[in-house]
């Protein structure tokens, strides 16, 4: 996605240069603004991908991988305790 946005940004900046060369200031401004927006959106996607990867690594480092494991623990989130249900607890019917 970020490559597509970078290509769009380059094309729009080129269009802005064309409009500027043809003395169309409004068209140049709009094209330049859209090109800048596309460029910064591509940067946002790159940063988001890096942060997500880093978060996954931190979670795996702290808790290990969760494949074929059941969680039955009380975790603390934001000062509140939350009970994480195991698969067995979620499958069992509620008894009153």
The tens digit of pLDDT for each residue in 11-66 reads 999 999 999 999 999 999 999 999 999 999 999 999 999 999 999 988 888 887 76
In this prediction, residue 80 has a pLDDT band, given cuts at 50, 70 and 90, of low
Instruction: Check the CA dihedral 11-17-19-25 and report its sign.
Output: positive
Do 35 and 12 form a contact (C-beta atoms < 8 A)? yes
Q: Would you say the pTM of this structure is higher than 0.75?
A: no
Taking residue 31's Cβ as centre, other Cβ atoms within 10 Å add up to 21
Domain spans in the chain, listed from the N-terminal domain onward: 2-65
More confident call, 22 vs 77: 22
Phi, psi angle pair for 66, to nearest 5°: -105, 10
């Amino acid at each position: 996605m970020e490559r597509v946005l970078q290509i769009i940004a380059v094309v729009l900046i080129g269009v802005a240069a064309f409009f500027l060369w043809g003395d169309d200031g409004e068209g140049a401004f709009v094209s330049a603004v859209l090109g800048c927006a596309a460029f910064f959106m591509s940067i946002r996607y790159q940063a988001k991908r890096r942060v997500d990867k880093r978060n996954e690594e931190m979670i795996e480092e702290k808790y290990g991988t969760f494949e074929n494991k059941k969680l039955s623990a009380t975790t603390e989130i934001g000062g509140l305790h939350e009970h994480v249900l195991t698969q067995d607890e979620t499958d069992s019917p509620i008894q009153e």
